[in-house]
């Protein structure tokens, strides 16, 4: 089969590789679309290795397609359209994955849209709802809000009636995000002042941060009493100086979270929670995955470059040549 393969540090190719064999409890899916994530960029550079036992040289954390075989008595059936969350290997013509992490594709969604859901929406839902315990009406700030996870967080928060603010470096991206329902968008240089002004000096209750160290003190200053900061990544650096006074005075919480390294059971719990709260709204059309651009699998190198240039608003998705079942 054809697959995206990491052939060395920062070297990506599309290559012929053996088809995966299902282990106990697995299903094999013929992939028609696979989401691209910043974790894939890091894995290509050798900075984000997959968990033990997961194929190391084929990236990809989410997919959509059709079940072609099963090694379990429960779960999706052969011929069923599905989408799923995996620890690696999704950017290929076939992927073997635990059946508990594979779900029926919501009615009315294309495979491209379905492939844009698992990693982004499960990450956003887990961070906001499970980790930060977001309550109805609370204010949210999402850094890098134009990303796939950022826009998923906007949707998850909107389903709870929570005004959501964001940051982005691009004026064009800011306008697009505002059109998608954000309460306000600020640039990275003055986001603390801008968001404080937009909230009449009250600040926000929850912050999702993928930048890290450079934003920490300003994040804490923006949080209201008993606010929560959830750190998803440290793209701007992981080191910082922390004054504990605001943390103590306002009774704040700082939470770190990551999805990929969790056990299958933990991922299944996060996927099921997201399914319960979010998935029905895709079928009704209340929310829709935001797709920035698709690339055929043969152009995976170009797709990675496009994402690395930070040009996207929403998800970048790889599509496979035979899309007769989409």
CATH number at residue 229: 3.40.50.720
Do 242 and 271 fall into the same domain? no
> Are the C-beta atoms of 270 and 259 separated by less than 8 Å?
yes
Do 32 and 138 fall into the same domain? no
Rounded to the nearest integer, the mean pLDDT of the chain is 94
What confidence tens digit (pLDDT) does each residue in 144-168 have? 999 999 999 999 999 999 999 999 9
pLDDT (average), residues 86-111: 96
* Domain assignment present for 325: no
Would you list the DSSP string of 172-190? HHHHHHHHTT-SEEE-SSS
Pairing of strands 94-98, 26-36: antiparallel
Flag whether pLDDT at 70 surpasses 70. yes
Q: What is the reported pLDDT for 323?
A: 41
Do 19 and 93 fall into the same domain? yes
Dihedral, 78, 80, 85, 90 alpha carbons, nearest 10: 70
pLDDT (average), residues 232-248: 81
> Are the C-beta atoms of 127 and 232 separated by less than 8 Å?
yes
For residues 238-271, one letter each, b for 16 or more C-beta atoms within 10 angstroms of the residue's C-beta and e for the rest, the string is eeeeeeeeeeeebebbbeebebbebebeebbebb
Element (H, E) at 69: strand 62-70
Point out the domain boundary residue: 201, 224, 256: 256
Q: What is the reported pLDDT for 321?
A: 62
Q: Please tell me the distance from the alpha carbon of residue 127 to that of residue 307, in angstroms, as a whole number.
A: 23
Give the tokens for residue 4: 């995206």
| Integer Rg of the chain from CA | 19
Flag whether pLDDT at 243 surpasses 60. yes
pTM: 0.94
Do 249 and 274 fall into the same domain? no
Count how many domains the chain has. 2
Backbone angles phi, psi at 279, to 5 degrees: -55, -40
Do 147 and 202 fall into the same domain? yes
Which residues does residue 204 pair with via DSSP β-bridges, in sequence order?
223
Q: What is the reported pLDDT for 211?
A: 87
Domain encompassing residue 184: 120-256
What confidence tens digit (pLDDT) does each residue in 250-275 have? 999 999 999 988 999 999 999 999 99
pLDDT (average), residues 160-177: 97
Query: At how many degrees (to 10) do helices 171-179 and 148-159 cross?
Result: 30
Report the candidate in 281, 135, 193 with the shortest Cα–Cα distance to residue 184. Answer: 193
Q: What is the reported pLDDT for 324?
A: 37
Percent of the chain with pLDDT over 70: 98
Flag whether pLDDT at 55 surpasses 90. no
For residues 172-196, one letter each, b for 16 or more C-beta atoms within 10 angstroms of the residue's C-beta and e for the rest, the string is ebbebbeebebbbbbeeeebbebbb
Do 212 and 280 fall into the same domain? no
Q: Of the spans 246-250, 257-261, 313-317, which averages the highest pLDDT?
A: 313-317
Do 218 and 269 fall into the same domain? no
Q: Please tell me the distance from the alpha carbon of residue 220 to that of residue 212, in angstroms, as a whole number.
A: 12
Percent of the chain with pLDDT over 90: 85
Report the candidate in 61, 2, 56, 73 with the shortest Cα–Cα distance to residue 35. Answer: 61
Q: Please tell me the distance from the alpha carbon of residue 55 to that of residue 57, in angstroms, as a whole number.
A: 6
Flag whether pLDDT at 326 surpasses 70. no
Q: What is the reported pLDDT for 57?
A: 94
Backbone angles phi, psi at 41, to 5 degrees: -65, -40
Would you list the DSSP string of 3-24? EEEEEETTEEEEEE-PPP---T
């Amino acid at each position: 089969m054809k697959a995206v393969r990491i052939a060395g540090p920062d070297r990506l190719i599309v290559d012929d590789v053996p088809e995966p064999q299902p282990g106990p409890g697995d299903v094999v899916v013929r992939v028609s679309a696979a989401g691209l994530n910043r974790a894939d960029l890091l894995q290509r550079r050798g900075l984000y290795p997959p968990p033990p036992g997961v194929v190391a040289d084929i990236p990809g954390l989410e997919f959509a397609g059709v079940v072609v075989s099963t090694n379990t008595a429960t779960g999706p059936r052969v011929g069923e359209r599905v989408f799923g969350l995996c620890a690696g290997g999704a950017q290929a013509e076939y992927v073997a994955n635990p059946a508990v992490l594979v779900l029926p594709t919501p009615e009315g969604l294309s495979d491209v849209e379905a492939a844009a859901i698992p990693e982004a929406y499960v990450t956003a839902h887990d961070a906001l709802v499970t980790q930060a315990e977001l309550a109805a009406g609370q204010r949210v700030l999402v850094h890098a809000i134009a990303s796939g996870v950022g826009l998923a967080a906007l949707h998850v928060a909107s389903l709870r009636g929570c005004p959501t603010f964001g940051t982005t470096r691009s004026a064009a991206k800011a306008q697009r995000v505002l059109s998608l329902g954000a309460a306000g968008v600020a640039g990275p240089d003055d986001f603390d002042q801008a968001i404080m002004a937009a909230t009449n000096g009250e600040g926000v209750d929850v912050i999702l941060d993928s930048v890290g160290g450079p934003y920490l003190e300003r994040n804490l200053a923006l949080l209201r009493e008993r606010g929560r900061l959830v750190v998803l990544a440290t793209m701007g650096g992981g080191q910082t100086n922390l004054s504990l006074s605001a943390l103590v005075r306002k009774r704040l919480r700082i939470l770190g979270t990551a999805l990929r390294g969790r056990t299958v059971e933990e991922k299944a719990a996060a996927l099921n929670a997201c399914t319960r709260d979010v998935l029905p709204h895709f079928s009704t059309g209340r929310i829709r995955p935001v797709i920035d651009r698709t690339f055929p699998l043969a152009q995976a190198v170009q797709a990675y470059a496009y994402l690395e240039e930070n040009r996207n608003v929403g998800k970048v998705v790889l599509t496979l040549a035979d899309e007769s079942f989409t």
